[in-house]
């Protein structure tokens, strides 16, 4: 199966999730993420604004803002496939970019060196490798990122992936069922 086919299959799976079950799973993901962030004492978090079929990141963003954690969300620069993370303090600051993707105000302060980066994706291997949407923005960003990484996913999103030489895994998978320190799994396998 190709990456494109894997993406299409996972998008279908996510779209077909029962509404109530999805809401319960999102609540569990949020609770696990809050525990993880508090236990790691992270002061700044980079997190994407919600996409329709994935975990609703607003649930966690609202909690982080209440916890006085600095929240930064990405703005994609399509000309060079780079990203900058802009401070987000309220839902009122959100606008849409040229592709109608929600972003924080481009005028907000930038911090590309957050303590924890929440990396989005569609499919994740048990070792933390991911298949995203194919734009390569996070793959490029992660090559120079020095902080910790995690992904917020439904347990259905863990499966077989195709790993390319440039792919960088996340350190932690936070699911509706549990928190997996996949960095430890990789180190144990080496």
pLDDT in tens, 115-146: 999 999 999 999 999 998 888 899 999 999 99
CA dist., res. 1 & res. 46, Å (int): 32
- Residue 81 structure tokens: 């496939």
Q: Cα–Cα distances in Å, from 28 out to 31, 32, 103, 174?
A: 5, 6, 25, 9
Please report the pLDDT score of residue 188 as a whole number.
73
CA dist., res. 126 & res. 163, Å (int): 12
Please report the pLDDT score of residue 30 as a whole number.
98
- Residue 160 structure tokens: 């077989």
What is the β-pairing status of strands 116-118 and 44-46? parallel
Percentage of residues of the chain with pLDDT beyond 70: 99
Give the model confidence (pLDDT) of 86-102 as tens digits.
999 999 999 999 999 99
CATH of region 3-189 = 3.40.50.10420
Q: Are 182 and 127 in contact (CB under 8 A)?
A: yes
pTM over 0.85: yes
Q: Over 109-139, what HEC string results?
A: CECCCCCEEECCCCEECCCCCEECCCCCHHH
DSSP code string of 87-99? EE--GGG-EE-TT
Nearest residue to 72 (alpha-carbon basis) of 42, 99, 98? 42
Give the model confidence (pLDDT) of 36-69 as tens digits.
999 999 999 999 999 888 899 999 999 999 999 9
DSSP state at residue 157:
G
Give the DSSP H/E element, type plus range, for residue 76.
Answer: strand 70-77
Please report the pLDDT score of residue 190 as a whole number.
63
| Confidence class for position 77, pLDDT limits 50, 70, 90 | very high
Q: Are 37 and 116 in contact (CB under 8 A)?
A: yes
**Between 78 and 54, residue with greater pLDDT:** 78
How does the average pLDDT of the chain come out, rounded?
93
Whether 187 shows a pLDDT value over 90: the answer reads no
């Amino acid at each position: 199966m190709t990456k494109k086919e894997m993406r299409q299959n996972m998008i279908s799976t996510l779209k077909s999730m029962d509404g109530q079950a999805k809401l319960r799973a999102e609540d569990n993901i949020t609770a696990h993420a809050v525990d993880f962030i508090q236990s790691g004492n992270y002061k700044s978090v980079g997190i994407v604004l919600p996409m329709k079929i994935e975990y609703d990141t607003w649930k966690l963003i609202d909690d982080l803002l209440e916890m006085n954690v600095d929240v930064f969300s990405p703005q994609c620069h399509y000309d060079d496939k780079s990203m900058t993370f802009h401070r987000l303090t309220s839902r009122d600051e959100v606008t849409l970019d040229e592709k109608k993707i929600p972003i924080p105000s481009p005028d907000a302060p930038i911090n590309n060196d957050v303590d924890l980066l929440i990396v989005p994706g569609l499919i994740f291997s048990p070792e933390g490798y991911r298949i995203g949407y194919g734009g390569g923005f996070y793959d490029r960003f992660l090559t120079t990122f020095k902080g910790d990484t995690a992904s917020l996913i439904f347990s259905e999103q863990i499966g077989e992936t195709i790993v390319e030489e440039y792919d960088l895994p996340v350190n932690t998978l936070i699911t509706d069922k549990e928190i997996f320190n996949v960095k430890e799994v990789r180190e144990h396998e080496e």
